[in-house]
Every structure is written in structure tokens, then in C-alpha cells.
């Protein structure tokens, strides 16, 4: 059974979203997603300062089995990417919610958060798969 | 596997089953502007007998001529062992085989080929080959536009001294992806790109700058300054190179401060016969950060469970069978046989052999230039440093002179009238290590005679 921290928000594309006190948003892929994909070999991240809309492609996670697109779960500007993943993509497997984070964004519109899933809703989504 | 063509009835049944009216309807998701509009210039099909006769006639045209043409395809000596080994049944396939890992020998050859290309270009990794030099440039452009996300542009600069056919092919391939190719004119005095002209391009951004070394005229470009200029303007530098020249000139990885980002070229000079224009093969190498954007197959070396070395297809997640529409590689290893021959050729010649072939070709071309320019009415157009080709201008119509030479079984050079009309009655000549003192003397005698005689018409 994969881990689904209750304090995070989730997207249907298996991303997690953490909102901090300063209104910044950190994004990663869920434990369930990394289990499905298998061992990560390469993470392609967006460019800092790119402005993206919810649903835009922001990168690619490539495992030994497959390469999957990652999408912006909210609209806003990319403010930081996890440079360490260039040399340690396996962090996405070992700590998907900690050192395996992908990138950070500004929150353009708080209403975007309402479209995201709660931990319970996400748990239900993946149990239906 | 039997070859069973579909009858009209078969076709109708299949179309009815899937519920479409015609075969064309199956392709209706391809937008109209991306479709090739008919193939009007393709002649009617020939029977096997007619085709055999045609090919024999064509092959005869190449026999018994003394060749002083280069321009991208060069007559070099190929040791007899090269194709004798390459034609063995175990090697005799154009592709990487299906169930690739079952064919360790084939994979090992390709791995050694990649290693050779890496050694010649100095870059981090090479792929298992491309179709030819021209399509290699197009693939490099697509790759650079994907990889250079900082530039945020689909414009690419290409030197006017890059092979004209490579420029045409690249334009044809990349235009449907809305990539704009902008040509940098060459300096008419020197036949290379003048650094001063680049100031015209400083206000715009370009995903890549493409230069050829030696350039189409055989001249040596200022690759260090050009590479640094490209990098200072956030462009990637694509190096188009003759692999043989790398035996004596600096590797693309050493150009300027940071080196070229991508190197491509045609592998023909390394063991592939002229054969009326093909098949040849292209090669490509790149720096480490670009490797996941590199198209084509890559063979890797690994160890099995017992620790024994083995070879395998690697980085396949870039490829079309996995990434589908998002693939960064939509190209396979169609030229495997030419690559096999080339790998054997490089192994037989070794570093020293390649250096000697390159140096002898350079030396023979200098002899040819000296000899021919001693004829009244022949002048050397560009006098800077060059490899094994040179542009000569005649005081008579070049096409007529070349036709008169061909009647004497001398392929005297490539007329530049169509591609570079501003150069006047100019031709591009080349003398590889194959051209003996006597060959050059013969060319000299016949050309002297043609240029001194009165025109017939």
C-alpha cells in the first residue's frame, strides 16, 4: 500500500502539491506513481521563470520502463527546480515526498487549489485503477 | 514470409470491416498542409529485367574514369578485407536485428563504431548511425531546437559554406516543424565565414549555429571563434565534419572555449565506396547534457549476471516505440551494413593509417592545384588554408570544359555554377590519396589542351 500524506493535495495525474506559509507550492510525483514507473533514470525539469498554465507539460520522468510527462497541477511561475535530481533521480523512488520533489511554483490563483484532490479522494482514485 | 498483395476485394472487405470508405480516409488525421502533394516526378515502375539493365548501364558510367570530384563523397582506397568481412552472412543486414540482444556480435560492432566516432569527435557519446550526412544535419537541428530551451526560438543559423545539398535537405525536413533556417553569407574573398558579418545577427536569438569544417569549398573555417560566438549568444554549435579530416585537425570537442555541442557528418570517406552516390551513412555525436535528445539507437556495454561483458540497446525511452508521439528519436539503424564496413575499415587503418590517408589527400590536392594553376586561364579562387579540396576558376565556360574532360574519361571537378553562380566559371576539385602523380599529369595535359584550343561551337 503506497503512502499518501494527509496534509498534501493531489492531482489526477498522480502529482502531489504542498503549499507553504509564503504561498509557494512544491510539486512532486506520488509514491503510487513512482511504484508504477519503477526505477527512475532521468528527470527532465522545467526552466525557472517559465510561466505555465494548469495542465501544461512541465517535464518528463523517465524510468527503466517508461517515460511519462508531468503536468502543472496549478497555474503560476516556476521559481525553483530540484537540481539534485540530475545526479540522483533515484530520490524520486526513495523519498517521493521529500528529497524527490520536482519543482516549486508561485500560486497564481488560489482557486486552482480547489480543483485538486484531498488525500482521501486520491486514495479512492488509485483504488479504482 | 510470403509476399501476398491485397486484391481489390480484400481491400474493400477490410475497409468495410473498420467502417471507412477509402484508404485515404485512414490518413485523414494528417493535416492537409503536412501532406506531400503527389509524387509526379517518379517515373513509371520498371520490370525486374528492365531495372537490371538500367542499373548495369548506370554502373558502367562510373567505370574507367579518373575522378577528381569530391564535394561530399570521396574516392578513397578501401582494403579488400573490409567488404570481404562485412559481406559475411553473420553481418549481412542493414538493420540492428530484432531481438537485438541475441545478436551480440552485431551489437559489439556498433558499439565499437560508436567508440571510434567518439574518439574522432572528442564528444561524450555517439549514436549507431543515421541515413547520411545531409539528414544528419537535419536531425541535429531538430535536436538542438528541442534541447536549447533557454533560447526559446525555432530559428537556426547555417553557414552558406555548409554543403548545398545538406542545406536543402535540412530545410525540407525541418520546415514542417516551423523551424526557420537563416543562412550566413560567406566572404567572397576568403570563402569562409567572416567574423565581422556575425554582428548582423547579434540582436536575435538562435537555437543553434551550424558550421562545416572543412567547409564545402575545402577551406578551414575559424571554428574556435565561431564556436565561442555561438555560445556567447546562447546558441548550440553544430559541427558538420568530414571524419577523415579529424585524423589531422582538431576534434569538434576542442573548438573554442567549450567545444561543439553536436557533431554530424557523412561516414562515406571511411570505407564506403562511391557507388554512384550511395548508400552512405551519417554519424552523430554530442555532449553529455544533450544525450537524451540525441536521435537514433545507442548500444551500451554492460555485464551479465555472471559478470561477463555484453552489449545491449540502451536509452530506449527516447525512442518512438516507447514515447510514441513525444519521442525524441524516430530513426533506426538502416545503414548498419555500411557502418559495419566502416568499423572494419577504421580498425584496419588505425589512427596512423587515417592520418596518412588524410595527409596524402591534402598533399595530392596541393600538387593538383599547383599543376593546374600553372595553365594559363586557371586560377585558384580561395588561397587560405584548406584540406583536400579547392575552388578553381577557368577562363572558359566550366560546364563545357568539364564535358570535354569527361569525354577523355576525366571527371575534372564539380561545377559550382548552379549552387554558387557568383563565383563565375568555377569548379571544386579534389585529389585523394588514390590520385597518383601520373593521374595528375594526365589531367594537366588534357586540360591544357582543352583550354588552349578554340571553342567548337
What cell does B103 get? 545478436
Report pLDDT for B455: 58
Q: Which residues contact B162 (CB under 8 A, 6 or more apart)?
A: B137, B210, B211, B212, B215, B216, B240
CA B196 from centre of chain: 28
Of A42, A47, A67, nearest to B323 by CB-CB distance is: A67
DSSP B75-90: -----HHHHHHHTSTT
* CA dist list (Å): B134 to B164, B238, B284, B285: 9, 13, 11, 15
Cβ–Cβ below 8 Å for B292 and A44: yes
State phi, psi for B393 to the nearest 5 degrees.
Answer: -110, 140
Cell 524520486 belongs to which residue?
A92
Decide if B10 is inside a domain.
no
- Mean pLDDT of the region B57-81: 94
pLDDT in tens, B94-136: 776 667 787 899 999 999 999 999 999 999 999 999 999 999 9
Band of the pLDDT at B456, cuts 50, 70, 90?
low
Report pLDDT for B92: 82
pLDDT in tens, B317-336: 788 887 777 788 888 778 88
Out of A81-85, A107-111, B8-12, B44-48, pick the least confident: A107-111
Decide if B127 is inside a domain.
yes
**Residue A69, pLDDT above cutoff 80:** yes
* CA dist list (Å): B117 to B263, B266, B283, B457: 10, 11, 8, 51
What cell does B297 get? 539507437
Decide if B9 is inside a domain.
no
Report pLDDT for B1: 45
Of B343, B361, B381, the last residue of a domain is B343
Locate the domains of chain A by residue range: 9-107
Q: Give strand ranges (E) for B68-179.
A: 125-126, 155-159
Band of the pLDDT at B211, cuts 50, 70, 90?
very high
Q: Which of residues 12-51 of A touch B (CB under 8 A)?
A: 41-42, 44, 47
**Same domain, yes or no: B303 and B445:** no
The shortest C-alpha distance from A70 to chain B (Å) reads 13
Asked whether B55 and B277 are in contact (CB, 8 A), the reply is: no
**Same domain, yes or no: B328 and B446:** no
Decide if B295 is inside a domain.
yes
Asked whether A107 and A24 are in contact (CB, 8 A), the reply is: yes
Is the CB of A68 inside 8 Å of chain B's CB atoms?
no
Mean residue pLDDT across chain B: 93
Cβ–Cβ below 8 Å for B318 and A69: no
Cβ–Cβ below 8 Å for B292 and A62: yes
CA nearest to B179, candidates B137, B233, B125: B137
**Same domain, yes or no: B305 and B379:** no
pLDDT in tens, B145-189: 999 988 889 999 999 999 999 999 999 999 989 999 999 999 999
- CA separation for the pair A75, A79 (Å, rounded): 12
- Mean pLDDT of the region B194-211: 96
Residues of chain A with C-beta less than 8 angstroms from the C-beta of B322: 66-67
What cell does B258 get? 567549450
- The three state secondary structure string of B219-272 is ECCCHHHHHHHHHHCCCEEEEEECHHHHHCCCCHHHCCCCCCCEEEEECCCCCC
Look at residue B342 and give its three-state secondary structure: helix
Cβ–Cβ below 8 Å for B149 and A47: yes
**Same domain, yes or no: B204 and B337:** yes
**Same domain, yes or no: B260 and B145:** yes
Cβ–Cβ below 8 Å for B292 and A69: no
Query: CATH number for the domain including B282?
Result: 3.40.640.10
Cβ–Cβ below 8 Å for B322 and A63: no
What cell does B71 get? 564535394
Mutation choice for A interface testing from B152, B323, B325, B329 by most A CBs within 10 A = B323
* CATH no., domain A9-107: 2.40.50.100
Asked whether B130 and B139 are in contact (CB, 8 A), the reply is: yes
**Same domain, yes or no: B234 and B284:** yes
Reported pTM: 0.90
**Residue B361, pLDDT above cutoff 90:** yes
- CA separation for the pair B428, B216 (Å, rounded): 9
**Same domain, yes or no: B423 and B299:** no
Decide if B131 is inside a domain.
yes
Cβ–Cβ below 8 Å for B149 and A69: no
Structural domains of chain B, count: 2
pLDDT in tens, B247-288: 999 999 999 999 999 999 999 999 999 988 889 999 999 999
Of A47, A66, A69, nearest to B150 by CB-CB distance is: A47
Decide if B61 is inside a domain.
no
**Same domain, yes or no: B321 and B369:** no
CA nearest to B250, candidates B121, B386, B72: B121
CA nearest to B339, candidates B136, B78, B104, B130: B130
**Residue A105, pLDDT above cutoff 90:** yes
The ipTM is 0.79
Of B323, B343, B363, the last residue of a domain is B343
Report pLDDT for B334: 81
**Same domain, yes or no: B168 and B308:** yes
Report pLDDT for B56: 93
**Same domain, yes or no: B244 and B319:** yes
Band of the pLDDT at A77, cuts 50, 70, 90?
very high
**Same domain, yes or no: B232 and B287:** yes
Is the CB of A66 inside 8 Å of chain B's CB atoms?
yes
Of B292, B318, B326, nearest to A69 by CB-CB distance is: B326
**Same domain, yes or no: B335 and B362:** no
Query: CATH number for the domain including B394?
Result: 3.90.1150.10
In terms of residue numbers, what domain contains B106? Answer: 80-343
In angstroms, the first-to-last Cα distance of chain A is 13
Q: Give me the long-range contacts of B353-358 (CB less than 8 A, separation at least 24).
A: B354/B244, B354/B247, B355/B247, B355/B248, B356/B433, B357/B76, B357/B77, B357/B244, B357/B247, B357/B432, B357/B433, B358/B244, B358/B245, B358/B247, B358/B248, B358/B387, B358/B388
**Residue B209, pLDDT above cutoff 60:** yes
Of B343, B378, B396, the last residue of a domain is B343
In total, the C-beta contacts within 8 angstroms joining chain A to chain B are: 18
Report pLDDT for B196: 96
- CA separation for the pair B99, B101 (Å, rounded): 6
- CA separation for the pair B107, A17 (Å, rounded): 44
Burial class for B358, CB neighbours closer than 10 Å (0-12, 13-18, 19+): buried
**Within 13 Å and on the Cβ side, how many CA atoms surround B88?**
12
With CA atoms as reference, the chain B residue closest to A48 would be B150
**Residue A95, pLDDT above cutoff 90:** yes
Band of the pLDDT at B226, cuts 50, 70, 90?
very high
Amino acid at each position: 500500500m503506497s503512502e499518501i500524506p494527509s496534509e498534501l493535495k493531489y492531482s489526477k495525474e498522480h502529482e502531489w502539491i504542498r503549499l507553504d506559509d509564503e504561498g509557494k507550492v512544491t510539486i512532486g510525483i506520488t509514491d503510487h506513481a513512482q511504484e508504477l514507473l519503477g526505477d527512475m533514470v532521468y528527470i527532465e525539469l522545467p526552466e525557472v521563470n517559465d510561466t505555465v498554465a494548469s495542465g501544461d507539460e512541465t517535464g518528463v520522468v523517465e524510468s527503466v520502463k517508461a517515460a511519462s510527462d508531468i503536468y502543472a497541477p496549478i497555474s503560476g511561475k516556476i521559481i525553483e527546480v530540484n537540481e539534485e535530481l540530475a545526479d540522483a533521480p533515484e530520490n524520486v523512488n526513495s523519498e517521493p515526498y521529500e528529497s524527490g520533489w520536482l519543482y516549486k511554483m508561485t500560486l497564481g490563483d488560489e482557486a486552482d487549489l480547489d480543483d485538486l484532490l484531498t488525500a482521501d479522494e486520491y486514495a479512492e482514485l488509485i483504488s479504482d485503477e | 514470409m510470403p509476399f501476398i498483395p491485397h486484391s481489390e476485394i480484400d481491400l474493400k472487405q477490410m475497409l468495410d470491416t473498420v467502417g471507412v470508405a477509402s484508404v485515404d480516409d485512414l490518413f485523414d488525421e494528417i493535416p492537409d498542409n503536412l501532406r506531400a502533394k503527389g509524387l509526379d516526378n517518379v517515373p513509371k515502375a520498371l520490370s525486374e529485367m528492365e531495372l537490371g539493365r538500367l542499373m548495369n548501364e548506370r554502373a558502367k558510367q562510373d567505370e574507367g574514369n579518373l575522378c577528381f570530384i569530391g564535394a561530399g563523397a570521396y574516392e578513397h582506397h578501401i582494403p579488400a578485407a573490409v567488404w570481404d568481412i562485412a559481406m559475411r552472412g553473420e553481418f549481412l543486414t542493414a538493420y540492428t536485428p530484432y531481438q537485438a540482444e541475441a545478436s551480440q556480435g552485431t551489437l559489439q560492432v556498433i558499439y565499437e563504431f560508436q567508440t571510434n566516432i567518439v574518439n574522432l569527435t572528442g564528444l561524450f557519446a555517439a549514436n549507431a548511425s543515421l541515413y547520411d550526412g545531409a539528414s544528419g544535419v537535419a536531425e541535429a537541428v531538430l535536436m538542438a531546437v528541442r534541447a536549447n530551451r533557454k533560447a526559446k526560438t525555432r530559428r537556426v543559423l547555417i553557414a552558406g559554406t555548409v554543403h548545398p545539398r545538406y542545406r536543402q535537405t535540412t530545410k525540407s525536413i525541418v520546415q514542417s516543424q516551423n523551424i526557420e533556417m537563416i543562412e550566413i553569407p560567406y566572404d567572397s574573398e576568403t570563402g569562409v565565414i567572416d567574423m565581422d558579418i556575425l554582428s548582423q545577427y547579434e540582436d536575435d536569438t538562435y537555437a543553434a549555429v551550424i558550421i562545416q569544417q572543412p567547409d564545402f569549398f575545402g577551406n578551414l573555417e575559424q571554428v574556435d571563434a565561431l564556436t565561442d560566438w555561438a555560445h556567447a549568444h546562447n546558441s548550440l554549435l553544430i559541427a558538420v565534419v568530414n571524419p577523415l579530416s579529424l585524423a589531422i585537425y582538431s576534434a569538434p570537442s576542442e573548438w573554442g572555449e567549450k567545444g561543439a555541442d553536436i557533431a554530424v557528418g557523412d561516414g562515406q570517406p571511411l570505407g564506403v565506396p562511391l557507388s554512384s552516390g550511395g548508400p552512405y551513412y551519417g554519424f552523430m555525436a554530442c555532449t553529455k547534457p544533450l544525450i537524451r535528445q540525441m536521435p537514433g539507437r545507442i548500444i551500451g556495454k554492460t555485464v551479465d549476471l555472471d559478470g561477463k561483458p555484453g552489449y545491449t540497446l540502451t536509452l530506449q525511452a527516447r525512442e518512438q516505440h516507447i514515447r510514441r508521439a513525444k519521442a525524441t528519436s524516430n530513426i533506426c539503424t538502416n545503414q548498419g551494413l555500411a557502418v559495419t564496413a566502416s568499423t572494419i575499415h577504421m580498425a584496419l587503418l588505425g589512427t596512423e593509417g587515417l592520418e596518412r590517408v588524410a595527409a596524402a589527400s591534402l598533399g595530392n590536392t596541393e600538387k593538383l592545384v599547383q599543376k593546374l594553376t600553372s595553365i594559363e586561364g586557371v586560377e585558384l579562387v580561395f588561397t587560405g588554408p584548406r584540406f583536400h579540396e579547392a575552388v578553381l576558376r577557368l577562363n572558359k565556360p566550366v560546364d563545357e570544359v568539364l564535358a570535354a574532360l569527361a569525354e577523355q574519361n576525366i571527371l575534372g571537378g564539380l561545377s559550382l555554377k548552379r549552387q554558387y553562380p557568383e563565383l563565375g566559371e568555377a569548379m571544386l576539385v579534389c585529389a585523394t590519396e588514390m590520385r597518383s602523380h601520373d593521374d595528375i599529369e594526365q589531367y594537366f595535359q588534357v586540360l591544357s589542351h582543352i583550354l588552349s584550343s578554340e571553342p567548337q561551337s
